[in-house]
């Protein structure tokens, strides 16, 4: 029996919709990252992007565990200039841009480099229940 190798022409990506209401942030991010990488498919190969498109709705309703994580967890960025470090708490980020919290968590679970960036581009996150991807006929995924 021969080992089957995956080619880019064999990949047929599908579209999925995930509702983030009441889901724990890290567990949801882990499931979505696995779908983006294509690890649930029988023809998985780590060197090719055979993952699917994922649309996450209701990102503003994701559950955060921990007693005081909303005030002690910070997101940092640096402008590159001296004194250019900026920090935003999780509470501020959830109030202004709730979709960025989920995007940041999922991006950290994808591989680094060009392949990971290509996988990340298949992620669409929306704070509310509406999304503009009805034409792709996405399938609903119920996460436990």
Q: Specify the DSSP element, H or E, that contains 107.
A: helix 98-107
DSSP state of 108: T
Strands 85-89 and 74-78, by their bridges, are antiparallel
d(CA 37, CA 51): 5
Does residue 125 fall inside a structural domain?
Answer: yes
Q: Does 82 reside within a domain? A: no
What is the reported pTM? 0.92
Residue 93: both structure tokens together: 């980020």
- Report the number of distinct structural domains present in the chain: 1
pLDDT in tens, the chain (144 residues): 888 788 888 888 999 999 999 999 999 999 999 999 999 998 888 999 999 999 999 999 999 998 899 999 999 999 999 999 999 999 999 999 999 999 999 999 999 999 999 999 999 999 999 999 999 999 999 887
CATH of the domain at 39: 3.90.1180.10
Characterize the bridge pairing of strands 85-89 and 139-141: unpaired
Pairing of strands 15-19, 53-57: parallel
Domain range for 105:
14-66+94-141
């Amino acid at each position: 029996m021969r080992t089957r190798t995956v080619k880019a022409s064999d990949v047929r990506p599908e579209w999925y919709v995930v509702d983030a209401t009441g889901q724990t942030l890290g567990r949801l991010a882990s499931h979505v990252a696995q779908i983006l990488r294509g690890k649930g498919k029988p023809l998985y190969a780590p060197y090719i992007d055979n993952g699917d498109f994922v649309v996450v709705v209701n990102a503003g309703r994701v559950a955060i565990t921990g007693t005081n994580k909303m005030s002690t967890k910070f997101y940092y960025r640096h402008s590159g200039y001296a004194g250019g470090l900026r920090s935003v708490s999780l509470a501020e980020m959830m109030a202004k841009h709730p979709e960025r919290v989920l995007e940041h968590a999922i991006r950290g679970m994808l591989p680094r480099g060009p392949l990971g960036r290509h996988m990340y581009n298949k992620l669409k996150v929306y704070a509310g229940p509406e999304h503009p991807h009805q034409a792709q006929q996405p399938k609903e995924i119920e996460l436990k």
